[in-house]
Amino acid sequence: MRLALAAVTACARFDGLAMLAAAVSAIASLIGVVVVMIILAEVVLRFLGEQVPPGFEELANFLFVWWVLLGASVGVARRAHPRITVLLERLSPVVARPLELAGEIICLIYFGLLTVYGFRIALLATQPSLALEMPMTWAYLALGVGGGLMTVFQLAALAARGRPSFQSLLVVLTAGLLGGALYGLASFDIYAFLVAAALCLFVIGVPVAVVLGVVTLGALGFADPATMINYVIRLFDGLNNFVLLSIPLFILTGTLMSQGGISRRLVGFASGLVGWARGGLGLADIVASVFFADISGSAVSDTAAIGSIMIPGMVQRGYTRGFATALQAAAGSLGMLFPPSITMILYAWVANVSVARLFLASFLPGFLVAFTFSLVTYAVARRRDFPREPRQSVAELAARFRAAVLALFTPVIILGGILSGLFTPTEAGVIAAVYAAAIGLLGYRDLSFRDLPAIIGAATVSMSRVIFIACNAIAFSWVLIIHQGPQFVAELLPQIASSRLAILVLINLFLVVLHVFLEGASTVVAIVPVFLPLLAQMHVDPVYFGIIVMLNSAAGLLMPPVGLCLYISCSISGEKLETVAREVVPFVLAVFADIAILLLFPSITSVVPDLVLRSLPGG
């Protein structure tokens, strides 16, 4: 205990902590640039007809592990990892602060375990890698180094809280005793332990990634403490994947485009297309968000990039602040539903389905959701008498199109390259990122080379938040599998419902409840594998089910306490969450109606893939 207090005090006195975080961020960003250059070199060599060295992909994967772990440590320093705080905010400070302290201590214990087991596996993994023939120690070392940095930054966060009061220590001790009692649940029912432990950790504000890591370590430790080292192995295996590498690349693309004036030009073109209708600026918000969704692949990026322009604009034109904020949250969620959706890429990897087919299958459902959002917006605009925008002449519309055409060409590059087989999704991400940088620097010239380090640093923290959750969810889903989770679900659901439609409805109801507490990436990686064996028995197309999951995830982005799009929109507008939550209800109901349509007419998801893939050579 004295050693821990001494470490906290030393950490508090370390004036260079911010410098350390900045240095780690710079190193992580540099690694990201190297990864981009390696994958770009692969594409160029292949186009030149040259042999791609076999070590290129392996080196990119290993550097990706370092990129994520270092970025995640910076996220700890900046308190950037997603967590549920709404419940804590409702409590009085006397109760909330000790609970927060308990959560911080749990994070410290988790980061410490990650450090210990990370260094231990690095020392044990001395075998050479397949392509580079270098000791695997250097790849696994990222877990220990990343965990160590997280531990340092977490110690600093604890030190910044000051000396805890006697009441706080009493609450923490009580929480520890309750945690021990909760751990005893595992001896009776491992699933009860996993659910109860996760809920308790969410309530006290533990980040989502840490919650998944803690319950995974807890389940492993109860069975046999010696098996806890398997956690870091699964964590590494989850990160060491070339498909997942596309996610940070698309996040980088979205960040480059949002900072490079792209969103402003897309809004201008969208407003010219539909602004003349009643509530035209709100409709333009939806259209612009569809355009940007086809570029960034991120609902969060979509909400932030478009919302910073559209919310103030709608308020100035007479829209109520609450409705403008809710509309932007809903429009931003469309980033989940159109390619290159990051969550879709995760699902394709988990379900082992074609990324290209999943992308194509998303178009009609995505436009369906955009259409129902437009109906809601138009109905509210008529009832509240929101204004129309001036109708644009053909020449004015053409000028706006010319201003946005470079941005609109990005989805063509991404989808065209993937569907034609020219690029893998990861290579398409690199091409898109390089193209986004080029049009920002040389085309629109809204970016300068001095802006790039900050942009890459911001993208590094953003992507590490998603990937750190994903790799922890992979380890968590592995625990579910070894405890026969899929078999349990496969046996339980048919006992409750007999028809395929009834089982799908039950699964959707479960996903709706789940998305109130978890974001889409966590659900896809941790929960979807549980349902896949049952869906295979029922002959449900996994691509179709993936689209259903995406719509559920989009609804979750609009619902407290985890609705990220809702929070981002509120932070832009300054409107109260309670007000926006009421205004967003019609949009959530619209998504549920769209899910019902897809459940009744599943062929909607197969129309575009069948047409496009059949027309391609060899289709």
**What is the length of the chain?**
619
**Structure confidence by residue, pLDDT tens digits, 233-279:** 989 988 887 777 777 887 787 778 777 777 778 778 888 888 788 88
316 membership: H or E segment, kind and range? helix 299-316
Let me know: does 130 contact 183? Beta carbons within 8 Å.
Answer: no
Same domain, 365 and 512: yes
Summarize the confidence of residues 591-606 as an average pLDDT.
93
Q: How confident is the model at residue 152 (pLDDT cuts 50, 70, 90)?
A: very high
Residue 415 domain-assigned (yes or no): no
| Those residues with Cβ within 8 angstroms of residue 150's Cβ, 6 or more apart along the chain or in another chain | 72, 73, 76, 111, 114, 115
Q: Residue 490: what pLDDT? A: 65
Same domain, 271 and 211: no
Q: CA torsion 434→435→441→447, rounded to 10°?
A: -80
**Structure confidence by residue, pLDDT tens digits, 288-342:** 888 877 676 677 667 776 777 788 888 888 889 999 999 999 998 898 888 888 8
Distance separating alpha carbons of residues 321 and 580, to the nearest angstrom: 9
DSSP summary character for residue 387? P
Distance separating alpha carbons of residues 425 and 422, to the nearest angstrom: 10
* Dihedral pair phi/psi, residue 135, rounded to 5°: -60, 135
Same domain, 29 and 160: yes
Going 206 to 209 to 214 to 215, the CA torsion angle's sign is positive
Q: How crowded is residue 405: how many other Cβ atoms within 10 Å of its Cβ?
A: 12
Least reliable range by pLDDT among 3-12, 219-228, 469-478, 570-579: 3-12
- Find residue 228's DSSP bridge partners: none
Angle between helices 166-183 and 190-203 (to 10 degrees): 160
Distance separating alpha carbons of residues 600 and 500, to the nearest angstrom: 11
Which range, 40-49, 164-173, 568-577, has the best average confidence (pLDDT)? 40-49
What is the 3-state composition of the chain as percent helix, strand, coil, each rounded to the nearest 5?
80, 0, 20
Same domain, 188 and 144: yes
Which stretches within 224-298 are classed as H helix? 229-239, 246-259, 262-274, 280-296
Residue 460 domain-assigned (yes or no): no
Q: Residue 497: what pLDDT? A: 73
Q: Residue 82: what pLDDT? A: 77
Domain that holds residue 345: 261-409+437-446+484-615
Summarize the confidence of residues 466-485 as an average pLDDT.
77
DSSP summary character for residue 229? H
Same domain, 199 and 276: no
Summarize the confidence of residues 2-10 as an average pLDDT.
51
Q: How confident is the model at residue 172 (pLDDT cuts 50, 70, 90)?
A: low
Choose among 244, 241, 220: nearest CA to 231: 220
Q: Residue 74: what pLDDT? A: 95
**Structure confidence by residue, pLDDT tens digits, 202-243:** 888 888 889 889 988 888 877 677 888 899 998 998 888 777
- Find residue 128's DSSP bridge partners: 135
- Determine the 3-state secondary structure of 618 from DSSP: coil
Q: Residue 378: what pLDDT? A: 94
Residue 420 domain-assigned (yes or no): no
Same domain, 269 and 199: no
Average pLDDT across the chain, whole number: 82
Choose among 196, 220, 292, 221: nearest CA to 250: 292
| Token pair in block for residue 262 | 């792209």
Distance separating alpha carbons of residues 48 and 579, to the nearest angstrom: 57
Per-residue pLDDT at 607 exceeds 50: yes
Residue with the bigger pLDDT between 373 and 79: it is: 373
Same domain, 163 and 101: yes
Indicate yes or no: pTM above 0.85: no
Residue 76 domain-assigned (yes or no): yes
Distance of CA 570 to the CA centre of its chain: 19
- Determine the 3-state secondary structure of 570 from DSSP: helix
First to last CA, the chain: 66
- Is the N-terminal amide bond of 617 cis, ω within 30° of 0? no
Distance separating alpha carbons of residues 356 and 417, to the nearest angstrom: 10
Residue 118 domain-assigned (yes or no): yes
Same domain, 78 and 227: yes
Residue 253 domain-assigned (yes or no): no
Summarize the confidence of residues 149-170 as an average pLDDT.
78
Label each residue of 17-51 as H, E or C: HHHHHHHHHHHHHHHHHHHHHHHHHHHHHHHCCCC
Residue 453 domain-assigned (yes or no): no
> How many domains does one find in the chain?
2
Residue 451 domain-assigned (yes or no): no
Least reliable range by pLDDT among 114-128, 257-271, 390-404: 257-271
Distance separating alpha carbons of residues 95 and 157, to the nearest angstrom: 19
CB-count burial class (<10 Å; 0-12, 13-18, 19+) for 224:
exposed
- Identify residue 113 by its one-letter amino acid code: L
Let me know: does 88 contact 100? Beta carbons within 8 Å.
Answer: yes
Summarize the confidence of residues 75-98 as an average pLDDT.
81
Q: Which of 239, 269, 284 is the last residue of a domain?
A: 239
Let me know: does 209 contact 195? Beta carbons within 8 Å.
Answer: no
Same domain, 292 and 361: yes
- Find residue 135's DSSP bridge partners: 128
* Dihedral pair phi/psi, residue 128, rounded to 5°: -75, 150
Distance separating alpha carbons of residues 401 and 396, to the nearest angstrom: 9
**Structure confidence by residue, pLDDT tens digits, 343-395:** 888 899 888 898 889 999 999 999 999 999 999 999 999 999 888 888 888 88
Q: How confident is the model at residue 591 (pLDDT cuts 50, 70, 90)?
A: very high
Same domain, 349 and 495: yes
Which range, 149-163, 264-278, 421-435, has the best average confidence (pLDDT)? 149-163
Q: How confident is the model at residue 1 (pLDDT cuts 50, 70, 90)?
A: very low
Same domain, 146 and 113: yes
Q: Which of 174, 207, 239 is the last residue of a domain?
A: 239
- Identify residue 616 by its one-letter amino acid code: L
Same domain, 233 and 281: no
| Token pair in block for residue 448 | 């300068």
